[in-house]
Structure 1
Amino acid sequence: MRFLLLALLLASPLCFAKTVVVIQSYHLDYTWDADYIDAIRSVLGNDHEIHVFELDTKRLPKSQWPDKVASIEQSVSSIKPDIAILGDDNAFSLMASGLVEKQIPVVFLGVNGGPVQHPTLNHELVTGILERPFFAESIRHLQKVLRVDERFLVLMDDSPTMRNAVNDYFGEKRSAEVYGSQLDIVLTNDKETWLQSVFTAHEQYDAIIVGTHHTIRDAQETWIPPKELMAEATSRTQVPIFSFWDIFIGKGQSIGGFTISAHQEGITAARLASLVLNGVKPDRIPQLKSLSGHYVYSESGMKEWNLKLSPMIASQSTFVE
């Protein structure tokens, strides 16, 4: 069945024009969202009408989420789409049940939670891609890049996305051993705690690996733009900073790593959607896990930290800048 699904994903012929809604957890200025939406448009945009809505949950306080959801639900009811594509956990938890109640099929991507957090994952009208950071693969890769296997700090915001990702792999543990390396995991939405974890990391760790850092606020509850946060972190860190996501790699950001690609997640989600639009029932399409691990590196970051990849890894890597 899996091989048949992969073959269908490669082919995914398109049917007569239909209407697709894409509902983001976040916002179009967020690179992750922009990348997967571009990918969805590249697959479906020439043949179908696409409407995009942003919940903006990384910037809006939770008190404003219900009004945002109600507004999007009203728009969706007016549009009467043939399918909805939901990006990330917040969009799924806030929108999925209402959509399937209206008999609208749902394809999701970027969802880290399982059926405990999201019971609607088990609905017959739902399929998609469970986003799973490549924790073990990243550590094994970085051991070779750094030539050490001692201690790594995994630093993330305390968002539903990161909590679900960590809990899925590590359970309730916030310290673990992976391929002989010790990992300590810090999830926080507090700017001071996040930055101090970076500034003091050299006292215990060989490197930092960052997850998302888009729900960070200061003591006054002011939201901190991610690039501003990373610029301060990279200017003062005494150990190299790597990433689980390709969107956080570049000058003034992390150096690189074995990462998830938003573009590929979007391509896969769009192909799943095209199968549904062609008459395949969602419950006949097995839910997938992230397939898109790839090596991405910042040339300036590698130079700054005097890092070199093996010829084999370098030949498989994408270099930014």
Structure 2
Amino acid sequence: MSVKCRFNCLAVIGCLVFSPPSYATEVLFIHSYHLDYPWVKEYRQGFMDTIEQSDIIEHQMDTKRIASSDFNQAADKAIQQIQTSEPKLVVLADDNALKLVGPVVVQKQIPLVFLGINDNPRQYIALSKNVSGALERPLLKRSVSSLKTLLPTTKKILVMMDDNPTSYAILATSFDNKLKQTIAGIKVDTLLFSRFLDWQTAIEQSKANGYDAVIIANYAALKDTNDNNVSLDSVSQWTSEHTPIPLFAFWDYSIGHDKAIGGLTINGYQQGVVAAQHVNHFFSAGSLPSISTPNRGELVYSQQQLQKWHITLPSTLESRAKIVP
């Protein structure tokens, strides 16, 4: 009888598996990004806290940091890992993995659970009873409504994202493919950037361009003048320091001391919990449940940033909010 163990590995290097060579892995967990990415840490924690299986191999495609021209090579490595480990079920996290690896998983008829998918999964794979997962939907309309409660005089908001596939998926499914729209009487403009320099210019000119607040979404793919990725902390801290208008965010890793004030955030932990529940159901019942969309947004605000901007939370928000330093 083989001994199973839970283990973490970077690109499946340094893994230790106590089992005969013919033993098939229970779960292969393929991440679009890298394990140190804050979003990955959130959903992965939720997944590991909930999963009942112990034989898990992880593989990271690292598509937030590598060039888009290298995506196919990253997908080939992930597919090779599928062939090597022969998993009973594959978990694919985020759009790049589902788009690039999902069709192979479906073709091999391996049960598939996804999470963090912003686009319609039908854009990537054929759906069947062999496929389930958790969709990710930024809560734009509810975010604008909560912001209006916090700053009643707000008339115009700028939403900023990096120029990568995930952002376009968000634009298509959560923003109705509109770069300009009106929500709760507030004009909302969305801009996408590939260069940090252009991002900086947009922030510096935001007040002069008539915006009352800015919401930042994805920004892990921003490049500097040497075509290198700018770190998340560098972007969020620079943006917080230089913005002339209040700064909000969709993800809680962007909120805190010297970062964004707050916002109605997507719960990465909950995405991982739901995906793990679907996996648990498969191993206990032999089938997959329906695709779901966790809709538990969490209000998160930074005490330091609220004080910096002299903002007092109204009781309707404070009673439901999580306050961080």
> 2:293 and 2:164 mapped to 1: Cα distance?
20
Q: Which has the higher contact order (CA 8 A, sep 6+)?
A: 1
Match of 2:214 in 1: 208
After TM superposition, the structure 1 = structure 2 runs for residues 1-321 of structure 1, keeping only pairs within 5 Å, are: 19-44=26-51, 47-115=53-121, 117-120=123-126, 122-203=127-208, 204-282=210-288, 285-321=289-325
Give % identity.
30
8 Å Cα contact 1:209-1:242 kept in structure 2: yes
Per-residue CA deviations over 1:174-193 (Å, capped at 9, x if unaligned) read: 11000100001001111111
> 1:296 and 1:171 mapped to 2: Cα distance?
25
> 2:74 and 2:234 mapped to 1: Cα distance?
27
> 1:31 and 1:269 mapped to 2: Cα distance?
18
- TM-aligned CA distance change 1:116 to 1:71, over 3 Å: closer
8 Å Cα contact 1:195-1:233 kept in structure 2: yes
8 Å Cα contact 1:20-1:51 kept in structure 2: yes
The structure whose residues are more often helix, as a share, is 1
TM-score by length of 1: 0.89
Q: Which runs of 5+ in 2 are unaligned?
A: 1-23
8 Å Cα contact 2:50-2:276 kept in structure 1: yes
8 Å Cα contact 2:249-2:265 kept in structure 1: yes
* SS of residue in 2 equivalent to 1:38: helix
Match of 1:6 in 2: none
Q: Which runs of 5+ in 1 are unaligned?
A: 1-16
Moved >4 Å (runs of 4+): none
8 Å Cα contact 2:103-2:124 kept in structure 1: no
* Partner AA of 2:117 in structure 1: V
Aligned CA-pair RMSD:
1.7
Match of 1:13 in 2: none
8 Å Cα contact 1:83-1:277 kept in structure 2: no
Q: What count of residue pairs does the alignment treat as equivalent?
A: 301
Alpha-carbon offset, residue 115 of structure 1: 4.5
* Partner AA of 1:127 in structure 2: S
> 1:168 and 1:71 mapped to 2: Cα distance?
29
